[in-house]
Chain A
Amino acid sequence: MNCLILNGLQKDSDFYCKIKDNLIKTLIENNIKNNWIDLFEKDIEYCRGCGYCNMENPGICIKNDDMQEIFPLMANSEVLIFVSPIKFGCINSQLKKAIDRYSVMGLPTYSVHKGELHHSTRYNNPSYFMSIGILEQPDEDMEDTFKLVSDRNANCFFADESKSLIFNGSIKDNEIKIKLQKQLKIWRWNNS
């Protein structure tokens, strides 16, 4: 089983090593191969909604940038994890720039999924989606919005299982590990 982790955190963030070390260790313990991508090190353009991937050359993004390395990882990963500071309840702009390009992973046709109309998926992945948000100060509204955005993304990706985890400045290193381990154990992995 493959996991793609798209990280919007800067390396100098207090959380960078804590999240990365604990997450990768936990994934290895669960026999999951991982690809951790630091998005701030990548050359990624923003989506201009040109429609090329939709009705000109379906499934191909016209932009020749580092997303061309990331799209195959998206298509071939059963587990997708976002890591980001929470900005106004949303993921940060670094991660958002990459995620806005996700439309290449969808078909131009529509499906009804969980009582909503969505673009059908081009690939069968991801089956599992997790969104990890870092919030400097506790804020109920921002936490609720982050959970909502995460749920919306899970629906959009047609993920079978999804979870959002929010950490704030007061959380201890071992608590991060426990929360991640707990969540990964809850998921019923279909990797047999």
Chain B
Amino acid sequence: MKVKKVTALLGSTRGSKTVTESIADYLMKEYKNYEVNLIKYRAHQIFQDEKEVSNFIKDLKNSEVFLIVSPVYVHSLPYPIIHLMETMDDLTNKEFWSDKFMSAVIHNGYPKDIQRKSSKEICYNFSKKMGSNWLGALGFGGSPLIDGKPLEDVGWFTKNMRKSLDEFSKNIINKNKISSKAHKYEKRHFPPIPLHILKFLMNILTKKEAKKKGINLSAQPYLKSKN
């Protein structure tokens, strides 16, 4: 039996024009084609509000799939997501999760998979502790190039990412583990640019912007208060 409802928890703390939102909106469009309803919750907007958390858990209760879409903050998931995971651990039991499926899409700016691995593993550990059925996770680098735009509008850079997400959608809707095809496109997403060239290009852009703004990038303000 196919999935009818997916509840997605979004990890970005930045508002609505984010890469997290670009990915969630892309999946939402995909799911609409299959008549699957994806409901978005922004973790930072709900985690401190009891009523919102209650609404989120109600929606989750009626969903077959729980999906986390999140950026990486300091090598793991952002604080509001970890906070909500702790809350869900307190408020729900194994029965709540036993027939649910869980998956995650993790993103950040860095090219290497290892820089998203810990966040994927945290999602897996959460799924395991709650007793839900883990379907796997995808991860994509190069977030600044997407910059909150619809994935279709970014062009060639998101071509393989979209193919991977298309496959991912089909897998999730059928309650299947993420396929090797989805992972194949995931691996092709970031072009094989040598790191020193990437570093050089990004530093030129950053320094150019700093010069334009007249700011000192390497200021050390907190050294002044040495105790």
Contact = CB atoms under 8 A, between A and B. Distances in A.
Nearest to A118: B110
Interface in B123-151: 124-126, 128-129
Contacts of A28: none
Contact of B121 (A74, A103, A141): A141
Contacts of B110: 116-118
Interface stretch (B2-10, B112-120, B165-173, B181-189): B112-120
Given A76-B226, A100-B74, A102-B74, A116 B114 contact: yes
A100 B12 CA distance: 12
A128 B25 CA distance: 42
Interface stretch (A9-17, A43-51, A178-186): A43-51
A121 B206 CA distance: 15
B223 A123 contact: yes
B220 A123 contact: yes
A88 B85 contact: yes
B166 to A, nearest CB: 28
Interface stretch (B32-40, B49-57, B76-84, B154-162): B76-84
Interface stretch (A18-26, A57-65, A159-167, A168-176): A57-65
Given A72-B226, A90-B76, A116-B112, A148 B129 contact: no
A75 B118 contact: no
B125 A48 contact: no
A55 B215 contact: yes
A59 B223 CA distance: 11
B34 to A, nearest CB: 30
Interface residues of A, number: 53
Interface residues of B, number: 55
Given A72-B225, A89-B125, A153-B75, A122 B220 contact: yes
A109 B122 CA distance: 28
Given A110-B203, A152-B118, A145 B217 contact: no
Interface in A82-140: 87-93, 96-97, 99-100, 102-104, 107-112, 115-118, 122-123, 139
A58 B221 CA distance: 9
B210 A108 contact: yes
Contacts of B218: 58-59, 107, 122
Interface of A: 46-50, 55-60, 71-76, 87-93, 96-97, 99-100, 102-104, 107-112, 115-118, 122-123, 139, 141-142, 144-145, 148-149, 152-153, 156
Interface of B: 12-14, 44, 73-80, 82-83, 85-86, 89, 110-112, 114-115, 117-118, 121-122, 124-126, 128-129, 195-196, 198-199, 202-203, 206-207, 209-210, 213, 215-227
20 contacts: A46-B13, A46-B78, A49-B14, A55-B215, A58-B215, A58-B217, A72-B227, A88-B82, A89-B118, A90-B118, A90-B122, A93-B86, A96-B76, A100-B79, A109-B217, A111-B199, A118-B110, A123-B223, A149-B75, A149-B122
